[in-house]
Structure 1
């Protein structure tokens, strides 16, 4: 007996023979009918539109949040700047969408140190000869100072180039920074130098790697330290003493400077860094690296890449974030790296003397270097530049990245140098942490009034002379250029 549901179709289709495919065809017909159902069609299209609209709204929300994030980072409003610096996963993700310069990049080095040809010495043009003031005659009543009692007129005169020049350049008689006789004898044989320095026990020596046999024979690796650092090194690493009494830590020859010339360790560190040619007067080439760095590139290949290949005599990397000294000064103040009123006074003097903010019209890639690596041939003009750079550090603040661009400005086209990409700079070394942070009483001064009177204990008595003696110009109307903060890390 057939069910009612089967008999009805039979009555409608009595004229058509049954087929084994009829059920399948009927099911297909019902499916087709469903597909044409207007309600289901509208619902399907509505869902697709909803998904698309939601996706567009979500993308707009992300872009708006990204725009707010970038704006807050560059804003001068303190609340928004603080918001930018908060540790947030959302901001981290958004920050990852912002294009950033490479931290490290490959250096186009020569293939074989043994194949490198050392060129002839670069001839001196102006100045042809350079000598140094060793005995200060300005003020016989004033105790001898390492940097000398340089007057404002002496400073101005030193920027006037002549064939034969004599300038202040540290190491005045009884001014400090004395080397042991055995070290003086040793460094006289050094023509190619890799130099570094540790003061006040902030670091221990890090051994260079990838050094070829030729470079090991060619270069003197000289680590300049004070007595505090020497004792700290002896307590933490193995120090070898050779038959002549020289001290060694691995490849580094330890050179001790007695009678530190300054009260601030930060200033003392500028002596071997900037005045390398004065410490090692027989050196023809030098590569300076800060004490917290581990060199990982053969020094002969460094000279070939940054000096000889492009016929340069002085090379230094550009700063990662800043191009203007006023940007650098602003960052130093924000990050509390030196006393704010002293940094302001330093920059106001430079502004008064015509130092413009960096712009593309200048012939330099930047006015602000990464000064932790300096590569140079010891020519007369480079030695003069180093002396003048050091004199600015001696007279003003020890923030040498501010002074570098000023001295470049004053010497003009007479001093040429190669400023290489920051990403290559970061590929030259491995950076290690200091054992502790630098600090001195002077660095935390909040106003110039704190320096009044001799009982404050804040005066840097052997440096910073330009900030203590009256400046001959009227700085009252000087306004520092506005600064656009290009990076919250800068």
Structure 2
């Protein structure tokens, strides 16, 4: 993934914000081969406004799961930061970061803002879409959802206190408060234990906190005024995404992650055989 240079950045934002791009070794080598990388006197590597940060000693063998470390645990990687704005590598920012803080946090006194998913509000519908689009092994997504259903997560409806249970995680705007940091750690725990699809676990953590975690979920349509989208070139990142049955995974253990998703292979204390997943309505061709 090539760094997309942001536009409309004010001089004040250049002074206040650290524009950091966290990459693995493969991505760093790709960037070096394709664009000029500038080195500063401290050994820092830069492409335009972005400073490249190498994520060494990656904890997982699944690229999507490794990407969740800087995305969700931003407060752990950069503990002195008061605010952070996460954007996916496929997004080109076209709005000044200070304006994002003003619009999504300061104006209405929020501390955590995330976009609503474009197609789904129901976690179980999003899980079904993930299976159809081969975002992870189908039987493991089903197992993940059965655990959440067993633990009481209801399908989203208009009577819930949140506008949706499914976020679009390509942008996260947050103040690093104690509660937001706790939420991020709990969210990452779910990504670590189960599937790396963070959209599936966001609503569950909100549910388990019982209304204590307050956040602003803004309409997905506002994306077009914040970013230019550059779609991923590589749609799939690992072989496990193609597995269709649990028998297939057991027959080919090389497909199974060795360091992530271990909660999917640990005996669950409840009887999941009795769990019936809610029916889903496929409301969008894209979803």
Q: TM-score, normalised by structure 2?
A: 0.98
Out of 427, 442, 446, the residue aligned to residue 225 of structure 2 is 427
Q: What aligned pairs does 1:218-367 form with structure 2 within 5 A after superposition?
A: 218-367=16-165
CA distance in 2, matches of 1:267, 1:336: 15
For 2:196 and 2:38, locate their aligned partners in 1 and report how far apart those are by CA, in whole Å: 33
Residue-by-residue CA offset, 1:52-97 (whole Å, 9 max, x unaligned): xxxxxxxxxxxxxxxxxxxxxxxxxxxxxxxxxxxxxxxxxxxxxx
* Superposition map of 1:107-118 within 5 A: none
How much does 1:447 deviate? 1.2
1:72-471 correspondence runs (5 A): 203-452=1-250, 456-471=253-268
Q: How many angstroms does 1:345 deviate by?
A: 0.4
Distance in 1, Cα, partners of 2:62 & 2:211: 34
Deviations along 1:428-480, whole A, 9 cap, x unmatched?
11011323223212111111123337x62122110001101111111001000
Matched, 1:478 2:272: no
Partners of 1:426 and 1:267 in 2: CA distance: 27
Ranges in structure 1 where 5+ consecutive residues have no aligned partner: 1-202
The Cα of 1:321 is off from its aligned counterpart by 1.0
Helix, strand or coil: the match of 2:64? Answer: helix
Runs of 4+ in 1 over 6 A off after TM superposition: none
Deviations 1:372-400 (A, max 9, x none): 00000000100010001001000000010
Equivalent position SS for 1:255: strand
Q: Give me the whole-angstrom Cα distance separating, in 1, the residues matched to 2:89 and 2:60.
A: 19
SS in structure 2 at match of 1:291: coil
By how many angstroms is 1:426 displaced?
A: 2.9
Structure 2 unaligned regions, length at least 5: none
SS where residue 210 of structure 2 aligns? helix
Distance in 1, matches of 2:224 and 2:241, equals 28
CA distance in 2 between partners of 1:410 and 1:425 (Å): 28
Give, in angstroms, the shift of residue 425 of structure 1: 2.4
Q: Name the counterpart of 2:284.
A: 487
For 2:132 and 2:235, the matched residues in 1 are separated by: 17
Distance between the aligned counterparts of 1:411 and 1:283, measured in 2?
25
Say which SS state the counterpart of residue 165 (structure 2) adopts.
coil
Give RMSD over aligned pairs: 1.0
The aligned length equals 287
> In terms of Rg, which structure is larger?
1
